[in-house]
């Protein structure tokens, strides 16, 4: 995090990345002193509602983050930025996305959790677009021009106002990670009465084990263990608000719909109380570690891996065989995971994998036969990418 004082006294001259969170309501003119070097500008967590018309002076800017501000529109000046590729305006009050506000070279667009009611037809001209996050808006339909987004790999349209599944997505040749739950066309959430329901007072939360977009996972012990579960468990407490993937309630519904599989973390019970929703799961043994790392700004939609990470051919094929079996299980339950990535997979020294994070999952049993097959084809593309990545780690 940088400060305005550093910016004003010249201490940041020549930096490529600037992050300012200082309750700003006006764009600081001093940022233009970095025009020759600045490539990444993060103005998240301020009170900004617009950007200056001469923002184009930042001629090398590639990435702009402006989440948690007061924007009601995406500034038109962005469409004139010569090198801007990644745009993030999560959690503002954006209602308007004009025909001219998005630069043609955009690869990564984040407009999650706003109040957008329509997208411009010109979005189809963003032929380099690979990742598009639109969850948590009020969009009733996607423009027909979406058919032109031939490089789109990841799309989040959950928690919107879509009355019908957008068939235009089924012909996109690279789409592999799709989240669409929480729309009017989606099936209702199940009550899952077959799963044990416990009270929040029954478990005592300890240290945090993991943090995701939809909630916190903590180690827990039982205060009241009437069901004979293991004494130590993991508890994921869901946030109430919309996430980058959709509604946490849809994640819980999808996870319980999928049920048990040897390559899934076993769900034991759930907690459903006013303002408190949680999933109790088996505690993962400590020898499991992340199979992959999330995509970088450069790879955009593809996983990254730690330097030197490698498998034998037999190890790789064992990993792939497990994922294929799990994938068949998901298909049998008519649930699309939407985030089939190595970074959502844990693996132990014996090569056993555990797959998780159902934040982008969507149930699709109510769709037409053609749409169901299209959703499965999208998921199979993600599986193919996963297999390609794992085989790419094989050493002779």
Neighbouring residues of 124: CB distance < 8 A, sequence distance ≥ 6 = 143, 144, 145, 146, 147, 148, 149
Residue 178 to residues 181, 197, 211, 385, 388, Cα–Cα distance (Å): 10, 30, 22, 14, 19
Beta-strand ranges (E) seen in 131-242 are 131-133, 154-156, 177-179, 196-197, 203-212, 215-222, 232-238
Q: Can you read off the two tokens belonging to residue 67? A: 């989440």
Please state, in angstroms and rounded to a whole number, the distance separating the CA atoms of residues 361 and 200.
Answer: 25
Q: Which tokens belong to 231?
A: 């004494």
- Strand, coil or helix: what is 25? coil
Taking the C-alpha atoms of residue 166 and residue 90, their distance in angstroms, rounded to an integer, is 23
Residue 369 and residue 211 in contact, taking contact as beta carbons nearer than 8 Å:
no
Q: Is the dihedral of CA 349, 353, 354, 358 positive or negative?
A: positive
Query: Rounded CA gap, 359 and 347, in Å?
Result: 20
Residue with tokens 């503002």: 92
Integer Rg of the chain from CA: 22
Sequence-ordered list of residues with C-beta below 8 angstroms from that of 90, at least 6 positions apart, any chain: 67, 68, 110, 111, 112, 113, 114, 133, 244
Quick one: which H or E segment has residue 87? strand 86-88
Token readout for 164 is 């019908």
Sequence ranges of the binding site for ATP: 236
Say how far residue 188 (Cα) sits from the centre of its chain.
22
Q: Give the DSSP H/E element, type plus range, for residue 251.
A: helix 248-258
Count the Cβ atoms, other than its own, within 10 Å of residue 261: 17
Residue pointed to by tokens 């032929």? 127
């Amino acid at each position: 995090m940088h400060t305005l004082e550093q910016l004003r006294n010249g201490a940041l001259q020549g930096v490529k990345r600037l992050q300012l969170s200082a309750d700003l309501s006006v764009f600081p003119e001093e940022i233009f002193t970095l025009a020759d070097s600045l490539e990444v500008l993060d103005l998240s967590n301020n009170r900004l509602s617009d950007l200056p018309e001469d923002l184009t002076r930042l001629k090398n800017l590639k990435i702009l983050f402006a989440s948690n501000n007061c924007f009601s529109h995406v500034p038109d000046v962005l469409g004139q930025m010569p090198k801007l590729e990644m745009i993030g305006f999560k959690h503002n009050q954006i209602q308007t996305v004009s025909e001219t506000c998005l630069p043609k070279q955009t690869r990564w667009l984040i407009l999650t959790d706003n109040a957008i009611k329509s997208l411009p037809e010109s979005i189809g001209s963003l032929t380099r677009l690979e990742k598009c996050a639109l969850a948590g808006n009020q969009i009733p339909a996607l423009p027909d021009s979406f058919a032109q987004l031939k490089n789109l790999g990841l799309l989040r349209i959950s928690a919107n106002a879509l009355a019908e599944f957008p068939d235009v997505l089924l012909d996109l040749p690279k789409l592999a990670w799709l989240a669409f739950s929480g729309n009017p066309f989606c099936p209702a959430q199940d009550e899952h009465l077959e799963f044990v329901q416990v009270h929040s007072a029954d478990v005592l939360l300890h240290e945090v084990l993991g943090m995701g977009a939809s909630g916190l996972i903590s180690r827990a012990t039982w205060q009241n263990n009437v069901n004979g579960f293991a004494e130590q468990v993991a508890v994921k407490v869901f946030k109430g608000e919309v996430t980058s993937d959709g509604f946490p309630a849809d994640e819980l519904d999808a996870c319980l719909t999928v049920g048990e599989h040897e390559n899934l973390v076993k769900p034991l019970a759930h907690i459903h109380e006013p303002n408190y929703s949680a999933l109790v799961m088996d505690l993962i043994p400590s020898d499991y570690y992340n199979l992959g790392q999330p995509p970088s700004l450069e790879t955009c939609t593809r996983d990254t891996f730690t330097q030197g990470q490698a498998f034998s051919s037999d190890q790789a094929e064992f990993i792939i065989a497990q994922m294929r079996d799990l994938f068949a299980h998901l298909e049998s339950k008519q649930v699309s995971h939407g985030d089939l990535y190595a970074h959502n997979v844990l693996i132990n020294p014996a090569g056993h994998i555990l797959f998780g994070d159902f934040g982008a999952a969507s149930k699709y049993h109510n769709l037409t036969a053609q749409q169901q097959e299209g959703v499965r084809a999208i998921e199979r593309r993600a599986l193919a990418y996963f297999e390609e990545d794992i085989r790419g780690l094989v050493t002779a």
